[in-house]
Amino acid sequence: MKIALAQLNYHIGNFELNTQRIIENINLAKAKGADLVVFAELAICGYPPRDFLEFTDFILLCEEAAQQVAKHCVDIACIIGLPIKNDILEGKDLYNAAYFIENGKVKVVTKKALLPTYDVFDEYRYFEPNTQFECIEFKGKKIALTICEDLWNINDNPLYVSCPMDELIKQSPDVMINIAASPFNYRHDEDRIQVLADNARKYNLPLFYVNQVGAQTEIIFDGGSLVFDETGEVKAEMKYFEEDLQVFDLDEIQNVKNKYPAAERASDISQIHDALIMGIQDYFKKSGFSKAVLGLSGGIDSAIVCALACRALGAENVMAVLMPSKYSSDHSIKDALDLVNATGCKHEIIAIKEAATAFDSMLAKPFTGLEHNLTEENIQARCRGIVLMAMSNKFGYILLNTSNKSECAVGYGTLYGDMCGAIGVIGDVYKTQIFELARYINKDGEVIPENTIVKPPSAELRPDQKDSDSLPDYGVLDQILFQHIELQKGSKAIIAQGFDEALVHRVLKMVNQAEFKRYQTPPILRVSPKAFGMGRRMPIVGKYMA
């Protein structure tokens, strides 16, 4: 039996496009001699559809699209993911399901049993868990079909009290197939391979796994679909951050060594780079936009975002706005212009001194006798925000936010100023990773100016200002933040690792006090195991200080 894995980029709710791409790949798989073509979890509607699932019409459109797909399943079968109605009154109204389609008809319906409700997942909000399990018989083989999380209840820390494969294995299947929507983070590919390999070994069956690819607002899917033999050896690893369709012979997977070479493991930074480019591309394409604007300060964060945007959208579609203040140094303007020349993007220079002075004059009376402080610094940042939003409104640009994760974590940014934007490009990338990313971008030639990389970071909102005036050294800060945010460790556990006690308490206090700011920032492209946004839910007014 020849099995095709179709790794596609879906668009949530775009039934016409999704259906067209699925049918095209059915025909392509058929032309390649496949007997069965497998698509991802909720492929019909895209993942995650979230509260679209609460609309009856949305579910009807899913079914109509699936029936349209079925008409093309002649001389080839397919497996396709979609939400379906639960006809039993008790329980949730829907199932997360998969259709096995053969000869133009739905022959078997498989329902997802394990519904994740952690991090970015919230499936039990919508779906009823499956409790009945049935293998699929096709071409003399029995297929144990599972949906994403159904294979993750394995090893040392099971999240669920049941395991679908423990039930399916009782029917003596010949092969496992798992359809997934498994989001990217730079540590997830190795975890995914380990979990799937452990399933293949445990049940002594070959395993075919298909993931989707593409970005859905902040969530990024990296593809990397996989095939394992019954010993858990990776027999094939499909492309990352690209659509792909490959056909595999089940007999060869079981009996032929080195037939399908696996891909090389990519570095964390290269994965982050590719993920961010895909995130920008899909945010714009799926939202119907093409042109971006950002503030370009001469600093490393905005330089990185500008370079990524040029690679994602084309330099001709990126407008960089230089907005020097009276505190901006000559080298910052030069560094910004050097980047403009290196990327070829458009640019404007719009000084904010006049605007900031006007606000100082407007507020002179109520501020009489008070010293200049953070208030005046924030006014400058908000002047820049006004300029960028004006450019966005006037020319139809979409504003890219340039705040990094270290800044977002401790609140080192100005609401309605440098924290404004439609999408946060690097808000899940720590400052120390930003420097690595700059070197990676420059690996084939200088794009980010060397002076931008080596000079001390500064907001340039007061004379001789440096980030280090307000924040600990980023090398130490980021280690503490990672322990607290990604690993969810409290102050005692972090201090026990040797970090200064006063510093740990200070950093964690800043993180907690900045929660109100993060609630008002744009969605942030998720590249880490724990990103700010829908996967990290903290109260604003909570007293607990970990």
pLDDT of residue 459: 65
pLDDT digits (tens, 9 = 90+) for 383-417: 999 999 999 999 999 999 999 999 999 999 999 99
Q: What is the pLDDT of residue 196?
A: 97
Q: Classify 248 as helix, strand or coil.
A: strand
pLDDT at residue 468, as a whole number: 74
Please report which confidence band the pLDDT of residue 258 belongs to, taking 50, 70 and 90 as the band edges.
low
* pLDDT higher than 90, residue 283: yes
295 marked as part of a ligand binding site = yes
Give the per-residue pLDDT at 392: 97
Catalytic position from the list 45, 78, 135, 148: 148
Per DSSP, what are the bridge partners of residue 234?
228
Task: Note the pLDDT of residue 467.
Answer: 75
Annotated ligand binding at 267? The verdict is no
Task: Report the pLDDT value the prediction gives residue 260, as an integer from 0 to 100.
Answer: 59
Do 130 and 96 meet the contact criterion of CB atoms below 8 Å apart?
A: no
Token pair belonging to 416: 């309605």
110, β-bridge pairs: 98
Which helix H or strand E contains 222, and what residues bound it? strand 219-222
Annotated binding-site residue? 361: no
Q: Rg of the chain's alpha carbons, rounded to an integer?
A: 26
* pLDDT-based confidence at residue 38 (cuts at 50, 70, 90): very high
297 is in an annotated binding site: yes
User: According to the model, what pLDDT value does residue 133 have?
Assistant: 97
Q: Is 528 annotated as a binding residue?
A: no
Percent of the chain with pLDDT over 90: 90
Q: What is the mean pLDDT of the chain?
A: 95
* CA–CA distance, 4 with 18 (Å, rounded to integer): 18
Q: Does the pLDDT of residue 535 top 80, yes or no?
A: yes
Catalytic residue (choose from 2, 30, 41, 123): 41
Q: Is 182 annotated as a binding residue?
A: yes
Tell me whether residue 298 is annotated as binding.
Answer: yes
pLDDT at 115: 97
Mean pLDDT of 12-26: 98
- Which strands form 423-424's sheet, in the order they lie side by side? 346-349, 318-322, 292-295, 398-401, 423-424
Is position 24 annotated as part of the catalytic site?
no
Over residues 237-247, the mean pLDDT reads 97
Is 517 flagged in the annotation as binding?
yes
Give 546's pLDDT tier (boundaries 50, 70, 90).
low
Weakest mean pLDDT among 99-103, 301-305, 327-331: 327-331
Q: What percent of the chain has pLDDT over 70?
A: 97
Q: Which of 2, 111, 112, 530 is catalytic?
A: 112
What's the Cα-to-Cα distance from 331 to each of 337, 388, 398, rounded to whole Å?
10, 22, 28
Is 450 an annotated catalytic residue? no
pLDDT at 157: 72
Confidence band, pLDDT 50/70/90 cuts, at residue 155: confident
Q: Is the pLDDT of residue 99 over 90?
A: yes
Would you state the structure tokens that stand for residue 122, as one six-digit string? 């919230």
For residue 217, pLDDT over 90 is answered with yes
Residue 17 has pLDDT above 80, yes or no: yes
Catalytic-residue membership of 64: no
What 3-state DSSP class applies to 12? coil
pLDDT at position 265, please?
80
259 pLDDT exceeds 70? no
| Angle between helical axes of 268-287 and 431-441 (0-180°, round to 10) | 90
pLDDT of residue 469: 77
Helices (H), 447-500: 450-454, 474-485, 491-495
Q: For residue 444, what pLDDT band results from cuts at 50, 70 and 90? A: very high
**CA nearest neighbour of 110 among 91, 96, 125, 92:** 96
Please determine, for residue 286, whether its predicted confidence score (pLDDT) is greater than 90: yes
- β-bridge partners, 479: none
Domains of the chain: 2-260 (3.60.110.10), 271-518 (3.40.50.620)
Burial class (CB in 10 A: 0-12, 13-18, 19+), 86: middle
- Please compute the mean of the pLDDT values over residues 85-90 and round it to a whole number: 95
pLDDT (mean) for 264-278: 94
Predicted confidence band of residue 466 (pLDDT cuts 50, 70, 90): confident
